Amino acid sequence: MGQGRTALRACAAGAVSAALVAGTVVGLAPAAEAVPDVRFVDIAGDGGTVLKANVLTPRGADGTRSYPLLVLPTSWGLPQVEYLAQAQQLADAGYVVLTYNVRGFWQSGGEIEVAGPPDVADASKVIDWALAHTPADPGHIGMAGVSYGAGISLLAAAHDKRVKAVAALSGWADLIDSIYSGRTQHLQAAAVLDGAAGLTGRESAELRTIFDNLYASDLTTEQQMIDWGRKRSPATYVDQLNRNGAAVMLANAWGDTVFPVNQYASFYEKLTGPKRLELRPGDHATAELTGLFGLPNDVWTDTRRWLDHYLKGADNGVDREQPVRLKSRGAGDYEGYPDWKSVAAAREKFALAGSPTIHANVDSGADGGIVFLSSILDQVAQLPPMASMPLLPRRWAAVWQSERHGNVQRVRGTASLHTTLTPTKESGTFIAYLYDVGPLGVGKLVTHAPYTWHGRTPGEPFAVDLDLYSTAYDVPAGHRLALVADTVDPLYAEHNPSGAQLTFSSPVDDPSYVSVPLGEQ
């Protein structure tokens, strides 16, 4: 992939991140003025690094009793006022609430460690400080947060047995599967994170190297990046988390372009303690956003119920509800399931016949959209990225369509692709898209995923199995499903050398297909 195109995309996504972060900060700033009893403090984190924090205690706290403690690490690039609206409501409900700016951002000291060991140690130091300086109850400690704060909360709960409950909103469980799934760099997402870090924080030399190697597609550093990511992934420590027994609530959005939902659902299945998984329409952190302004919000309402039950002992029924809660990307109520496997009641396969050959290096017009913007449009207006199936150029896109469906198809869960691929070069990338196609041939994007390979023998076929991003989408009666494959998408890095061609085939003894998960009709 050309470095000029990489730089252009990084700059564009960086500009988007700067606007988003700046707008959020400006919007949240008045919240600090609206909370007169907030106490701003300095806390010595790991190695003495100063962490800027704020503390709210229940009104009337006079030292005669203790209260559950809730610790909220900030999101990537956001200041310590991020949670003040929620913190005030939680304090009014009887919590000691401590929000702190994670190291490397804003006025806190140190450098950005990306939820590394110093960040995990910081969380324990913050708890230590709260127990020594507030009326916090050492037996009832919880952590919660959005995005970066979610990941740090999960990691802290795996390393500190004092944490009894966690609400991890729009977070990650597997960092590499988030930004490098399908062995493909999620270029726009990485650039958003990089841009926000440069605007609001101080990147460590290690982080700068990780970003540079990611952009450069340097395979000699691939294992180094994977090892770096594993150290920062809650999934790596799931056994410790299970032994510690914290009650874990996970919430995410179907269209999260930073932390796709697949890795969260997989992590949820490995948890053995009290747990809950909520998935809704939206993009990264957009489902929680209105709650940060103190407005009614489903995610924060359920977060409060979860914490009230596991930290305060409230008999609010949250433990008796179906633990997996989904909301389709269209209109409809929440759906409850006993576990993730039960989301799909059946699977339907449609064959990918023929042997189309496509040329690489040109965007066919089938795309996953633009980071944040496309999924937000889908969230608020049910307008996902679209493409016309008849107009997609077959030189650069392979297209297969199912028969028309007589009934609504309730896609629920993770669609998967199986095919045989013959490339003309040893490395390459393709992106698979699943569309809902109406009578006029216009397709609305249901889901997609990238796939990259290296070190293959040119001209030699090999089997490909690819899970697309999990989703909940209702395909109307009379519509078709379509699978499209092309080689360029602005969301991702591409690894197709100039002049590369890809042939998709369906051998008799190993036919190609798409397997679509369907909920109960």
- What's the per-residue H, E or C state across 465-512? EEECCCEEEEECCCCEEEEEEECCCCCCCCCCCCCCEEEEECCCCCCC
Asked whether 415 and 347 are in contact (CB, 8 A), the reply is no
pLDDT digits (tens, 9 = 90+) for 145-199: 999 999 999 999 999 999 999 999 999 999 999 999 999 999 999 999 999 999 9
pLDDT at residue 10, as a whole number: 40
Residue 300 carries which side chain, given as an amino acid letter?
W
Residue 273 has pLDDT above 80, yes or no: yes
CA distances from 488 to 212, 239, 385, 505 (A): 21, 39, 15, 20
Residue 383 CA neighbour count, 13 Å, CB half: 7
Give the pLDDT band of residue 16 (cuts 50, 70, 90): very low
Rounded-to-10 torsion of CA 199, 205, 206, 207: 10
All residues at 6 or more sequence positions from 124 whose CB lies less than 8 Å from its CB, including other chains: 156, 159, 160, 162
Find the mean pLDDT for residues 434-450: 97
Residue 30 has pLDDT above 50, yes or no: no
Residue 453 has pLDDT above 50, yes or no: yes
The pTM assigned to this predicted structure is 0.91
- The first and second tokens of residue 230, run together, are 């594993």
pLDDT at residue 218, as a whole number: 85
Residue 420 has pLDDT above 70, yes or no: yes
Give DSSP secondary structure letters for 149-196. HHHHHHHHHHH-TTEEEEEEES--S-HHHHHSGGG---HHHHHHHHHH
Residue 328 has pLDDT above 60, yes or no: yes
pLDDT digits (tens, 9 = 90+) for 49-82: 999 999 999 988 888 899 999 999 999 999 989 9
- Nearest-angstrom CA–CA distance, 471 and 481: 14
**3-state SS class at 102:** coil
Give the pLDDT band of residue 500 (cuts 50, 70, 90): very high
Average pLDDT, the chain: 91
Give the pLDDT band of residue 96 (cuts 50, 70, 90): very high
Residue 31 has pLDDT above 50, yes or no: no
- Bridge-based pairing state of the strands 163-169 and 247-253: parallel
**Phi, psi of 7, rounded to the nearest 5 degrees:** -65, -40
